[in-house]
Structure 1
Amino acid sequence: MRPDSWHLTEDLDDFLARAGDFLCSRPALHTTPLTTVEKLRTRGADAFGPGTTVFGRLEAGGEVRAVFLRPPTRRLTLTALSPAQADALAAHLVGLGHSPSGVLSDHDTATAFAEAWQRHTGAEPVRSWGARLHRLAALTPPERVPAGRGRLVGQREHEHLMRWCREFAADVGEDVTIDAASWAGTRFAEKRYTYWETQDGTPVSMAGANPLVGGQVRIDPVYTPVPLRGRGYAGAVTVEVSRAALAAGATEVVLFTDPANPTSNALYRRIGYVPLADFTGYDFTHTGRQP
């Protein structure tokens, strides 16, 4: 066996038994694979649609050094790799006949793998997503909090919640269908939502939070309707869900922002979030030879 070896499996329990500790060793940076694995564990193999999920782990010296997940959507989610490791993984997947539709990871890893995949297959990488991961250092509530309070969203408000999720998705350019029939299959379904409401009980902002897994909670989405922005509601509801995550036992509370949005980035920094890493997603367009 080579000193550095990739091991692939479709068995989630086997993968977690061997790579679970590695994923939990850096819960903030590993927030995406942690929440993806938890969704598969709790909702079953078809959580991301029909098909199988392939899990991979890189071992060296008897220890797991990196992992990947390839759900039925076929886009790889990778933990950090060196350029040489990314190239070796690309060559290994080509040799096995795998054809991922894209890659998502920290910027350097995603770019290294995308370039390696192009060298090995001729597939052109097209940047399709970019975000900055922040982690909570010390929660610092704003000195001036808008009048009102935070509260959990109730079952009777599901239609209203779905409408705000649709508006959020449109704001960030996501092409998703969100209605009663499709809700369970969307990335919004497994979250716990909090509204910030005014003194008369009118919701004015919302924040969602993924389940606690591996010691981390990821806040997503945070949304305020356009006419209500600039009044401190988003900051207030984010503080509310951040405090709840810490109370639930989270050692890391994280969120993604658009690096090109100075308003949201400044807001989160004011309440205690600090940048951790930039993440990038690429889609692969097969214009040349096929693996």
Structure 2
Amino acid sequence: MTRALARRTGREPAELTVLRGWLLGRKTAAAAAAGAEGRRATFAYLAERASAAGTPYVVSACTLRQALAGRLPTLRTTVAFARATGADEVTARQLWTAADRAVNPPRERPAPHVPGRFSTRAGLVRAMNRVRGSSPHTTLRAIAALAGPGLSASTLSRFLTGNQVPTTEQLTAFAAACQAGDEATAALLAGHRRVLNGPPPHSFYPCAYAEEAEARRQRDEAARPWLTETEPELDWYDQQLHDEEEADFQRLVDEAEAYLDELQDNERAQHTGAGAGTDGGLAARIRAAYGQ
């Protein structure tokens, strides 16, 4: 074991140290075999031997060097290293698997997130990100691989940043890849339908203008005694307030009358005069209530 490898022993898992030591031992054995043939077992020489087998063992000399000096190498690099040095590939896979589990232990999965009610695109984005956060696989690449060919990592990124709204099939595949469960999946799809359908239309009452004008008139009469016939003479300031209130009230009355006239014309056009008497009586009663 080299001095650099010994220094790393106290800061890295033992399984990783064992893997790196095994790789170094295989390189030493390969160097001895090459020396017997009058060659030097350089990393370039080992890369050439590994690449001779073709894909997926094509590897560079730099990659083989980093397998001994850097972080945990990939499984492909480890197998290529074993093949280049004539070592047992099954042993290489076993040692790498143990090192990978030690370096990247499986995280404890939180309870699956069940989204609450939402009806906006921003709410959908928040819900999808929270479902992803409680998934055993949180990387976009892993989720895309589990979701199938119709959902790539780049597409998932657009969904999770709000730049694109998923289809029902894509959202279902996303939930399945995140192992969201039936309840969370149902909540996601229900909110997704609300987002696609948009907000419900506002209800409208035809006589809303008239009722608002009448309510305003009653409030004014109760709050300002100068609106009655027995009101005293007002000074300049109170008279100005009185005129402004009268003008505001008259504007509401005019709007109500205009709307009722339009409603009456529409009814006449649709029913050829059948409902004209009813609308006309309604307009007359409203005008009478306003003292017109």
* TM-score bracket relative to the smaller structure: under 0.3
Between Structure 1 and Structure 2, which shows a larger proportion of strand residues?
Answer: 1
Q: Determine which structure has greater relative contact order: mean sequence separation of CA pairs < 8 Å that are 6+ residues apart, divided by chain length.
A: 1
Say which one has the larger Rg: 2
Q: Which TM-score applies when normalising by structure 2?
A: 0.21
Q: Which TM-score applies when normalising by structure 1?
A: 0.21
